[in-house]
Amino acid sequence: MKLNKLLLTLSIAAPLALASCGGGDEPDANGNGSNNVAPEVKGCMDQASLNYNADATVDDGSCIYPTATESKGLFIKFTGTWCWACGDYGEQMVLNVEDAVGEKTVIIEAHITDEMSTPITDAWRQQWPSNSVPYFIGNSNKLGNDVTGEAKTAILNKTSTPAQFGFRSEISADNGTIFAGKAYVQALQDVVGEYYLGVYIIGHDLIYPQKADDHSAHPDWDFNYDSKTYTAFKHDFVLQGEVNNKAFGTMVFETKADKNQMATLEYAMTPSTNWAENRNLVMIVWKKNGAMYEYVDAAIME
């Protein structure tokens, strides 16, 4: 009889418990109530992306990623239109490097006191001073007499290791009154140090006379033997400025960056009338070491 009494008690209690589930906890018109369902948050849910949203509950396909993740070397030529050695020997060194390791290299020509010079060049020369022109930088170091060989070795050594940073560029305005956009940089591995991002305007097909001892670098170009001058020299890879007018860019990581950590640099500036019509951006990450800036990674953004 005790067992039957227990079964009866359970059979009566169960319907009462079930009946209580349909009580007054329904959400009101404002969505309040104990049964309220959290709203969906749409966004990018991939932590390896540049726009990861930690609050997102639904991936909406909006993820964006670096477009440049390959390791590249850096080759800088300091030059001037007034410098005869720049027009033949210096030009030939650029052609040699471009031919040997061009696909693995970011090439920049920094002009000194001529029609294409910028304050950025002056600041770079403080880091890499020289009493003679032209002279050349491979990654972070001044090159010696064997420019082509030393540059090739430095660049191949650099590109034999994975890139530390990836890059992406989005230009929102590019007209006669404003040049604006957003630059992304992302750590592809854990790194330690103080890192800066420079976003440089690089001009191509700029036509100015160029002094030269002869015209061996470009024998088919017009050359005035009396004045030893190319009358219409086409200058490429010309440094024309930096989006924030900072020689080594803006600090993006103060002490370290974890893998996939990213930084965004927004800019808006008035274009210079001296800018080449044919131009692109070069993004460079520098690591500050005392008073010096060491080259880390770069990308050519078309």
pLDDT tens-digit series, residues 212-248 = 999 899 999 999 999 999 999 999 999 999 999 999 9
In a domain, 140, yes or no: yes
d(CA 147, CA 145): 6
In a domain, 53, yes or no: no
In a domain, 16, yes or no: no
Whole-number pLDDT of residue 32: 54
In a domain, 199, yes or no: yes
Lowest mean pLDDT among 5-19, 108-122, 144-158, 234-248: 5-19
Contact between 106 and 76 (Cβ < 8 Å): no
Q: At what angle do helices 147-159 and 91-101 cross, to 10 degrees?
A: 30
Contact between 41 and 58 (Cβ < 8 Å): yes
Whole-number pLDDT of residue 135: 98
CATH at 247: 2.60.40.10
In a domain, 5, yes or no: no
Structure tokens at 160: 């034999």
Residue 28, pLDDT > 90, answer no
Residue 11, pLDDT > 90, answer no
Structural domain count, the chain: 1
d(CA 106, CA 297): 10
In a domain, 18, yes or no: no
> What percentage of the chain exceeds 70 in pLDDT?
88
d(CA 80, CA 204): 15
State the residue range of the domain holding 85.
73-301
- Which pLDDT band, with edges at 50, 70 and 90, does 34 fall under? low
| Residue located via tokens 């404003």 | 178
Residue 17, pLDDT > 50, answer no
In a domain, 60, yes or no: no
In a domain, 111, yes or no: yes
Structure tokens at 54: 């930690």
Structure tokens at 10: 């359970």
Residue 211, pLDDT > 50, answer yes
